[in-house]
Structure 1
């Protein structure tokens, strides 16, 4: 049951971190990898699915941004949206490969919705970016902690 709660907490933190609400999921993933209660592959999968789902929320908000772009409660302000739109126009859909990046990633996913990027292409590029980031993080944490991801054994121990 503790594993289920940990997985849900990771999913929720990754989901919220991908939306336009400021949050971070990397520390949750790192802590769970080091706690070694669930497999790293499962943790990366849970974090990726949650983060991708949060980006789909941003894409959906972008589809309807005209309705709330001037609302005080809407966290993506016009200058940020304009900057992300310029970036998106300059680099096109490939800029979604930076959707994992702090500060520019979330606005890019909103702009993809504003500019009517097809959902299937959005999902493909965002999935590559977000999953790649979590795979890299899991690898880095495992190397730092001295674990072999393939076998689960400590590196240097027999």
Structure 2
């Protein structure tokens, strides 16, 4: 009976991972790490899990960037739960590290603020994309290898 239940779950595993990763980088204070670990330990293809999680999380970050780019600080504070204090902290990261700060958009509490600040500061989207994707990819790759016990 358990095997019959697993078929529908496995059919939607990657879609669930994508949606969870996307939402984790936008409006919901959730993490996608547990699902990544579950999928890796359940035998799902490590490179595919990493790529799906990275893509979803990156696209969520692009959404947050766009909201910042449009100068919607009220939306950022209300719906993305990013305070002005966190935005100011992110601005200090940009002052100190420049665009390299985008490599750390995966860091809990400050990561979403860095993403939104990137938009507010009207950073070049190509540079934003490269650094954010690299940072998120590295994070999921390390997490997946740890989960796999490699």
Q: For the residues of structure 2 that align with 1:13 and 1:48, how far apart are their CA atoms?
A: 11
> Are the structure 2 counterparts of residues 91 and 102 from structure 1 closer, same or farther at C-alpha, using a change threshold of 3 Å?
same
Matched with 1:22 is 29
Q: Secondary structure at the match of 1:23?
A: coil
Instruction: Indicate if the aligned counterparts of 2:82 and 2:113 stay in contact, CA closer than 8 A.
Output: yes
> Are the structure 2 counterparts of residues 52 and 139 from structure 1 closer, same or farther at C-alpha, using a change threshold of 3 Å?
same
- Contiguous gaps of at least 5 residues in structure 2: 1-7
> Are the structure 2 counterparts of residues 86 and 35 from structure 1 closer, same or farther at C-alpha, using a change threshold of 3 Å?
same
Matched with 1:47 is 53
Matched with 1:81 is 87
Question: Deviations 1:79-116 (Å, cap 9, x if unpaired)?
Answer: 11111112212211111111111111110000000001
Q: For the residues of structure 2 that align with 1:35 and 1:72, how far apart are their CA atoms?
A: 37
Question: Deviations 1:133-153 (Å, cap 9, x if unpaired)?
Answer: 01001111111xxxx6xxxxx
CA-based RMSD:
1.9
Count of matched residue positions in the alignment of Structure 1 and Structure 2: 143
Matched with 2:5 is none
Q: For the residues of structure 1 that align with 2:23 and 2:30, how far apart are their CA atoms?
A: 6
- Contiguous gaps of at least 5 residues in structure 1: 149-158
> Are the structure 2 counterparts of residues 27 and 85 from structure 1 closer, same or farther at C-alpha, using a change threshold of 3 Å?
same
2:41 aligned with 1:34:
yes
Matched with 1:141 is 147
2:65 aligned with 1:59:
yes
Structure 1 consecutive aligned stretches of length 4 or more whose deviation exceeds 4 Å: 69-74
CA shift, 1:8, in A, is: 0.7
